[in-house]
Amino acid sequence: MNNKEVVLSGIRATGNLHLGNYYGALSKFVKMQNDYDCLFFIADLHALTTAPDPNALHENVRNILAEYLAAGIDPDKATIFVQSDVPEISEMYLLLNMHVGIGELMRTASFKDKARKQLGLTDDGTDIEKQIIGTDSNKRVNAGLLTYPTLMAVDILIQKAHKVPVGKDQEQHLELTRRFARRFNSFYGVDLFPEPENFNFGDHAVKVPGLDGSGKMGKSEGNCIYLIDEEKVLRKKVMRAVTDEGPKEPNQPVSQPVENLFTLMELTSAPEIVQSYRDAYADCSIRYGDLKKQLAEDILKVTTPIRERYHDIRNDDAFIARVVRQGAERARERAAKTLAEVREIMGIRKFY
């Protein structure tokens, strides 16, 4: 275990997992656990930045734990833990924040996006900084949202991770993590943190599109196929996906909504099936209804076994408790070691 590269990744506890989470993250976790020293966690503290509902939070953590296990993460191979079970993360978050600029946090795309959403503003070209400073305290953007990238960097750096399997939307956060690691190492003249990289089995990061014709699949977009969607629900969602009127001439360019369906198909279906539909599009014989039926079928092949295991695992309190207790112990041991190094490096030493 010791010579293997360290892999760490997490998912926020904000609901159930969808195909975007699966192809961007979870499916990679399952494959990587055999070859790397892996830690996978549930980011409950990050969930508080946008959804501070105490009743929902705990249940959401349980959902994702059950989904990790149902998808095939093996607690004997990988460390599975809950972020808040490792208090060392919160302390190091405070320390790392001393090396992070407010400006660079404000320029993060996901911050601008979420801050505007929270304030009910549209992107009209006005600087977000001005929009935020002008708001009163009833309509606030919380400081936790601003420092989201610091917390994420700490999750990664405290475990000295080399590889961080995430979807395309998280690449900017990873870039910041590398910058913070470099900055810390060079400011103190140490070689403490490796610079972590995204990990993909193909050659580029995955962006799973939604079914509504535009953008990525995301919880707040309301365009998701969930791993635990019942068969009927899932088929209905796919059959309702946005398309267009169909190709009128051979080899016509593919519109965005239809390309999205092909992208989903490339993730779930066999290459020859995708090719046959691409060919049918090119010679104008394609029937979107058939494509959707095929797509739903192939998605169900992926999701059904996960859904079937999910409910049993979710109700097995003793098993879940065992997994996260063992995970917390392992994750804390490593985190405490790094935190002790960071404190020492920063000059925080005890008199007694």
State the catalytic residues.
Answer: 114, 216, 219
Residue 178 corresponds to which amino acid?
R
Of residues 43 and 299, the one with the C-beta less far from ligand TYM:
43
Q: State in angstroms the smallest separation of the CB of 46 from ligand TYM.
A: 5
Whole-number minimum distance, CB 309 to ligand TYM, in Å?
20
Q: At what angle do helices 87-97 and 148-157 cross, to 10 degrees?
A: 120
Among 42, 141, 206, 234, binds ligand TYM (CB under 6 A): 206
CA angle 87, 345, 36 (to 5 degrees): 60
User: Would you state the structure tokens that stand for residue 229, as one six-digit string?
Assistant: 């969607």
Q: H or E stretch including 39?
A: strand 37-43
Among 37, 155, 229, 298, binds ligand TYM (CB under 6 A): 155
Question: According to the binding rule CB under 6 A, does residue 217 interact with ligand TYM?
Answer: yes
In this structure, are residues 330 and 77 in contact, taking their beta carbons and an 8 Å threshold?
no
Q: Which of 6, 7, 15, 24 binds ligand TYM (CB under 6 A)?
A: 24
Counting contacts by CB under 6 A, is residue 156 touching ligand TYM?
yes
Distance CA(297)–CA(294), nearest Å, equals 5
Is residue 244 within 8 Å of residue 255, measured between CB atoms? Answer: yes
Q: Does the protein bind ligand TYM through residue 144 (CB under 6 A)?
A: no
How many residues appear in the chain?
A: 352
Q: Which range binds ligand TYM by CB under 6 A, 70-78, 100-108, 210-218, 246-254?
A: 210-218
Instruction: Give CA–CA dist 195/296, Å, rounded.
Output: 39
Closest CB 266 distance from ligand TYM, rounded Å? 13
Q: Which stretch binds ligand TYM (CB under 6 A): 93-101, 137-145, 166-174, 333-341?
A: 166-174
What is the Cα–Cα distance from 75 to 133, expressed in whole angstroms? 46
Among the residue ranges 84-92, 151-159, 252-260, 274-282, the one whose residues contact ligand TYM (CB under 6 A)? 151-159
Which residue(s) pair with 12 in the sheet?
Answer: 43
Binding residues for ligand TYM, per CB under 6 A? Answer: 8-12, 20-21, 23-25, 43, 46, 152, 155-156, 164, 166-170, 173, 206-208, 216-218
